[in-house]
Chain A
């Protein structure tokens, strides 16, 4: 089963989505901030990344930028999962190479998993 990296600083949100993904049978690795997320990305070689944008330290945009600059990780699809939703944020995320941009408050974990399946297919 596919391996998914979740970079999310809010513990409760992380737990909720992780539980749901584990139930679906995915293998999960977690990063609680930008630094850790980047490290896990390099070591863990996940098949997909769920990335929050507002993070302590390096923010999600920077994580995405660095992930795409590194040839080893550039091919890993990244779905942004954030509560920033202004047009400029979405455009910036897509421009940096995110495959999808989901606003947390607009999707249930079930719907997020549907999107993940679509990208992994």
Chain B
């Protein structure tokens, strides 16, 4: 009797246990199907995003097969997804419009960006990103293409306009320059000292306008997208040395000691657009000389650490009034004391320099005291060469 009761107790206990397990299983099953539903929803959402995206999306998986070709890509490249999905990317070469895509994928660069002309008159900007999962590289490639046909057309029109405007402005300015020079040279008869003085002032105004046209051209070129046209890995210190050397004669003429010690060790190469960077260095050296008195010293120094290279130029010139420092890099801004010292400045040099340095993801700044001089510096990030 006793053992029977015990057995019954045990049986009841086991039933309760089983009951618990059963409930748990039901709950888990419910959870699982909820998760599955949620995942399906997520997938649908992603697919919805992909198919409605205005940018073209192309995904090549780790095995080199085409896994995704969204409607925007279909439209941009004029190829239907169902005709190509599942093919290896090399196999896409049979479609003339995809030849470039095959080439880009084949490069296997970590990140690359190209402008692809699509006949008859479309231009696409295609960015390719190598996919990786943690340490495992080469999980495929994703290509994002963006239609930039309109931007290209506007850019083209703008370039044509600028070039024409420059020509139209420069022609009468050239005529004035040449005529003034002829008069100053005495080609049209003797010039009295008073006439000479007026002509000389006129010549300065004329040169100022020519410089202004030049700067306007530069501004338009820089603002036209504000991106770098031809970035390449370069030896920064050699670039600087070239510029400093080119100013040697002028510095001598103005009796200014222009000092630059080329660092003995090679600098890590930095990714720069040489032409634009030269513009910046020229600007800064030019300014330093321009606002220094005869007998002064201008010193250029370079330095670097693992993260960046830095340039700085120190003069003992007129300096910048404290309250005007904040506006130094603004378009057309000129400090009050600078206007008096050197009338030809256009107030665009530093603005241009700032744009260029920032397009390189660098920083530019100035330290200064009125009467004691200024130091202008900029730094550029060092990027891994791949």
Contact = CB atoms under 8 A, between A and B. Distances in A.
Contacts of B178: 13, 16-17, 104, 108-109
Given A10-B175, A83-B170, A104-B171, A110 B210 contact: no
A84 B166 contact: yes
Contacts, number: 59
Contacts of A86: 159, 162-163, 166, 217, 221
Contacts of B171: 10, 13, 83, 104
Contacts of A83: 166-167, 170-171, 174
19 contacts: A10-B171, A19-B187, A20-B182, A20-B187, A83-B170, A83-B171, A83-B174, A84-B163, A85-B166, A85-B217, A86-B162, A87-B275, A89-B163, A105-B170, A105-B177, A105-B210, A106-B210, A108-B177, A108-B181
A12 B187 CA distance: 15
A74 interface: no
Interface string B198-228: 0000000000001001000100010000000
B185 to A, nearest CB: 7
A2 interface: no
A16 B210 contact: no
B181 A110 contact: yes
Contact of B182 (A103, A104, A109): A109
A84 B182 contact: no
A117 interface: no
A87 B230 CA distance: 13
Interface-central residue, B159, B162, B182, B221, by most chain A CB under 10 Å: B182
A54 B167 contact: yes
Interface string B143-177: 00000000000000001001100110011011101
A63 B159 CA distance: 23
A120 B79 CA distance: 59
B182 A105 contact: no
Nearest to A16: B178
Given A86-B163, A105-B174, A108-B181, 5 more contacts: A13-B178, A54-B167, A83-B174, A86-B159, A105-B210
A96 B221 CA distance: 24
Contacts of A104: 170-171, 174, 178
